[in-house]
Structure 1
Amino acid sequence: KLSVSSDTIQHGVEGLTYLLAESSKLMISELDFQESISALGFSEELNNLLLQLYSDNRKEIRAILSELAPELPSYHNLEWRLDVQLASRSLRQQVRPSVTMKLHLTQHGDRDTRVLQTDPATLLHLAQQLERALDEMKTSHCGRVVRNIK
């Protein structure tokens, strides 16, 4: 009926879905949404229809997006123990330290326990990498990325 290919229709629907989902995710105002779609070169009537569609369905789209987001386990508690093997039958002068951690996680109200064991050097390296990641999050570039993701 429209005299266009199915690929064109599919791309149009995907583009409209992306526009509405991203706009709802970022909770942009109606004025910002109108400025964004005016750059697309549509007619004034179509711009007003898109604005009306966005303002009518913004909350429902956000609710659907929040249901689709994966819920990751969250930290509840951590128990740890330092073990040191001082000697064995074959080696009398041996020192092998290890750190055993019992990580308690919560997901959907259920508790889960994970036991991890590592040597202190690997644990120190992991802590340094996490500290670097935290420092990286403080940069202005990461701040812009995080704001755009939310």
Structure 2
Amino acid sequence: MLLSLNSDHKEHLSLLTKQPVEVLVDFCKLAINLIQSGPEIKLYKAAAQKLEVELTVIQNCVYGLVNLLLQFCKYNLNESDFRDSVLTIGFSSEQQVILNKFYQSKKKEIIEILEKLEVNDVHYNNLEWRFEVEVSSRSLLHRADPIVAMNLNLKRPHNTDGFPTVDSIFLQTDPTNLVHIAKELENCLQQSRSRHFRRIQKGLCNNNN
């Protein structure tokens, strides 16, 4: 099987195809750091200064390399298909040797990550809620505490039998805390629409569809 990349992915990797093997080794290390602990912005800036390119070029290059590794592991390419795919992208034979060592050394770890992502891929299914008020207690006769009760259903694609399941989670909170949670979720939503997040998503998701 010959791995085919789209034009954006090839463009992100084009910088590496023009670099010596020492630079490619450094980018392989950045790619592993991204997978294990997140982006190293200071190292990206140092690489951008060294290669005299914009920071976004370095970021896209690292994300593209991670995506390339994910694709290799996803399709479990053999040595022959791996070599042909890498050479077709534009890497030299010497660079192909470096990438193959990189692939073989991290293949097991990446496959385990992919399997965990597939197993734990949980999605929102439904939310039911009701508003409750505790009007009094033995110690406080004139107390009125509002409570929001929620039943959150999360759908899991596969269980141990291979069939989808729905997990129900019961939650209770007061209105003030609920407003705070809503604001935090709104902030997360805004960040998910940012250019930086889209670059990460574009680098890590399957761009071949």
Instruction: Please report the TM-score for the alignment, with normalisation by the length of structure 2.
Output: 0.45
Residue among 81, 89, 105 paired with 2:138: 89
Q: Output the CA distance in 2 between the equivalents of 1:46 and 1:29.
A: 11
Residue among 117, 125, 128 paired with 1:69: 117
Q: Output the CA distance in 2 between the equivalents of 1:29 and 1:127.
A: 46
Match of 2:170 in 1: 115
Q: Where in structure 1 are there 5+ consecutive unaligned residues?
A: 1-10, 35-43, 54-60
Q: What's the CA shift for 1:31?
A: 5.5
Q: What's the CA shift for 1:143?
A: 2.0
SS at match of 1:80: strand
Match of 2:194 in 1: 139
Q: Output the CA distance in 2 between the equivalents of 1:26 and 1:99.
A: 44
Match of 1:46 in 2: 94
Which range moves more in the overlay, 103-112 or 116-125? 103-112
Give the aligned length.
121
Q: What's the CA shift for 1:90?
A: 2.6
SS at match of 2:196: helix
Return the structure number with greater strand share. Answer: 1
Q: Output the CA distance in 2 between the equivalents of 1:48 and 1:144.
A: 25
- Give the CA RMSD over aligned residues: 3.9
Q: Output the CA distance in 1 between the equivalents of 2:116 and 2:138.
A: 56
Query: Which one scores higher on RCO, CA 8 angstroms, separation ≥ 6?
Result: 2
Return the structure number with greater helix share. Answer: 2
Q: What's the CA shift for 1:26?
A: 6.4
Contact 2:86 2:96 in 1 (8 A): no
Q: What's the CA shift for 1:148?
A: 2.2
Which protein is bigger by CA-based radius of gyration?
A: 1
Cα deviation per residue 1:86-106 (whole Å; 9 max; x = unaligned)? 222332221101111111122
Cα deviation per residue 1:54-78 (whole Å; 9 max; x = unaligned)? xxxxxxx9xx574453433222111
Contact 1:79 1:101 in 2 (8 A): yes
